Amino acid sequence: MTTLRTFQNEIDEIHDREVAKQRGRAIASPEKEEANREQRPNTMVTAKGKVKEDNSNTAATKLTDSAAVIRASLSELEDRILNHVLSRNSSEYATARDMIAELLTQHHGEYVFRIGAHPPHAELFSGGLSDATQGWTGTERTPEQIDEIREAFENLVDEVGGKVSLLLESRNGVHCRTTLLLRLPPPNVSLTPEVRCAVVGNVDSGKSTTLGVLTRGSLDDGRGKARVALFRHKHEIETGRTSSVGMEILGFGPSGAPILPQTISTDENTVRHEKLGWEEISLQAAKIVSFIDLAGHERYLKTTLYGLTSGAPSCVILIVGANAGLIGMSKEHLAIALALGVPVVVCVTKIDMTPAPKLLETIKQVTKILQSPGCRKTPVFVKNTETSIELATSFGSERICPIFQISNVTGEGLDHLRTFLNLLPSSEHDATKFAVDQPLEISIIETWSVPYVGTVVNGIINSGVIRAGDTVLLGPDANGNYRVTAVKSMHRKRATVATAEAGQCVSLALKRVKRAEVRKGMVLVPKTDTPPRAVSRFEGQVLILYHNTTLQRNYQAMLHCGAIRQTVRIVGMDHPQGILRTGDRAKVQFEFISHPEFVKEGMKLLFREGKTKGLGVITKLL
């Protein structure tokens, strides 16, 4: 039997290899290759603190060094900036300003700057940090120096058009330190960085209530008042349960403050909230956090799975009710997130109403499950702002799972969660997933018919750049064909934009297309004489995570592959016995039941029948 971790490493290798091949084939000529090399820097520093090198021969971005070495080089750069600032020389000030501008540009307009000594992560995350702790790094600074540096930074960053906000200040004890957030406002809405978070958890764990409190700013009354504004259907309001994939956004301004609607109290029992539309949030925000609110009930598992596979989330926020623990679908959702390789954040809610012994029991249970061989995560309880900052800036690069304990009634712990969300690296800046210099490819995940506008599709741009007015191909249809259409207009978070690029989620109004002709799972690609191939059969390397009997030829299951959700049939396998059981792995040939789809080698897949699950990657198109 193959362990899940070993198999995940294998399919990640297959995925990376196939993506590298496809990006290499997309380079049509040496001239185009040279143009791409000139347009994009060879080396860029991501918001996760890793250096990635752009290999133009394959257009594949690879890690070139360890996180520790990169952190050391960044610390050296920070020290050089600080020395220039403290020199009190005008020319040195100008040099410091240019270095800050370069640092912000490399980090996509946002950088967390630490002044003074930095505590070791191990002691900080374990809660054992003290002045006697060994292993502090960085240069010690006096309170006077910190004040001088902060004032100088505010002036220098203001000169380059940015804002400085104070994240942390500690002057108690031996090690004085301050952490600043340097942020450049985006030139327009189309360039606003976005973080996509999928919110999952069992029924009644507090998912919608938590999102209502985070995005509206007002606390809950203990009876679900905060969640009502999030429901989209009548039956959701009646039952109090989410059944569809909802989307909420939380904007953070250039100063790092959350953009929330104003609250007006008309009397002691009535509170009215001013409406704040997505357009207003998008225009004010320097960063947007998009929450994909997924259903917790078992009957809506396919909806939850679709949201996880099609939304390309940067992280999964698992909501656990402190009064119930990690039960039912919470375990299912955690297993799916681990299978898909998406980083996980745990929020333990309802701590205000849960007795201390039950809360302690829930914490022990969550810790035990995260540390189990199937998860192999290191749980870190976030109890202060410094821990929240360090977790956000290193999130995804280590096997760490932040755990927030929050109350939507009293507001306890919500500030730490907002700080964490404010500093998370944006989704579209992951060059290993999204390539701007490749041909256009947009996966359609939602469709609407808007009065006086026509058919509107919403999707994630996997690669390339699209502009309003571009002519594209839409497909494949039931016969595997593509049709020509054009983009009339584009919106991002309901704000009009003229252009959008890889990694972004965008809505497009299409010309001369009826809604009945569009379905989820279709793609938009550039108009060419030879449209991409629609696939009916493909081969995949799969691992059976769980099945209570056996799988054999003609077995049917629901396949989730990106934005595709369709029933498939097993038409062949290379297993010697011709059957598969829990823990078995094999090369399996699948066939779509209804119609062909646009799939590529290297795409990850998940298939299920009820709770039966298999994980895999497409290795060959048949």
> With bands split at pLDDT 50, 70 and 90, how would you rate the model's confidence at 188?
confident
> With bands split at pLDDT 50, 70 and 90, how would you rate the model's confidence at 486?
very high
**Strands 110-116 vs 315-321: parallel, antiparallel or unpaired:** unpaired
CA angle (429 as vertex; 488, 346 as ends), nearest 5: 110
pLDDT, residue 403, reads: 96
Two tokens, residue 323: 């009064």
For residue 1, pLDDT beyond 90: no
Read off the pLDDT of residues 132-141 as tens digits, 9 standing for 90 and up. 788 888 888 8
Q: How far apart are CA 76 and CA 235, in angstroms?
A: 57
pLDDT, residue 24, reads: 84
pLDDT, residue 80, reads: 86
For residue 261, pLDDT beyond 50: yes
> With bands split at pLDDT 50, 70 and 90, how would you rate the model's confidence at 612?
low
Q: What is the mean pLDDT of the chain?
A: 83
User: Measured over all CA atoms, what is the biggest interatomic distance in the chain, rounded to whole angstroms?
Assistant: 78
* Rounded percentage of the chain residues whose pLDDT exceeds 90: 45
Mean pLDDT of 296-301: 68
pLDDT, residue 301, reads: 76
For residue 116, pLDDT beyond 60: yes
Alpha helices in 312-452 (DSSP H): 329-340, 356-371, 385-393, 414-423
**Residues 534/596, Cβ–Cβ less than 8 Å:** yes
CA angle (440 as vertex; 445, 63 as ends), nearest 5: 95
Q: What domains appear along the chain, each with residue ranges and CATH number?
A: 67-183 (no CATH), 189-429 (3.40.50.300), 441-526 (2.40.30.10)
Q: For residue 550, report the phi and psi dihedrals to the nearest 5 degrees.
A: -130, 155
Q: How far apart are CA 294 and CA 232, in angstroms?
A: 12
> With bands split at pLDDT 50, 70 and 90, how would you rate the model's confidence at 305?
confident
Other Cβ atoms less than 10 A from the Cβ of 92: the count is 14
pLDDT, residue 269, reads: 47
**Can you name the residues that pair with 258 across neighbouring β-strands?**
252
pLDDT, residue 495, reads: 87
For residue 252, pLDDT beyond 80: yes
Q: Which residue has the higher pLDDT, 57 or 190?
A: 190
> With bands split at pLDDT 50, 70 and 90, how would you rate the model's confidence at 208?
confident
> For every residue of 29-90, which 3-state class applies, written as one string?
CHHHHHHHHHHCCCEEECCCCCEEEEECCCCEEEECCCHHHHHHHHHHHHHHHHHHHHCCCH
Q: How far apart are CA 346 and CA 249, in angstroms?
A: 19
Read off the pLDDT of residues 401-437 as tens digits, 9 standing for 90 and up. 999 999 999 999 999 999 999 999 887 888 888 988 8
For residue 32, pLDDT beyond 60: no
pLDDT, residue 190, reads: 85
Q: How far apart are CA 457 and CA 449, in angstroms?
A: 9
> With bands split at pLDDT 50, 70 and 90, how would you rate the model's confidence at 111?
very high
Q: Which residue has the higher pLDDT, 107 or 487?
A: 487
Two tokens, residue 320: 């656990």
As a whole number of Å, the end-to-end CA separation of the chain is 27
**Residues 532/478, Cβ–Cβ less than 8 Å:** no
Lowest-pLDDT choice from 50-54, 349-353, 385-389: 50-54
Two tokens, residue 30: 């040496």
pLDDT, residue 49, reads: 38
Lowest-pLDDT choice from 183-187, 197-201, 206-210: 206-210
pLDDT, residue 181, reads: 95
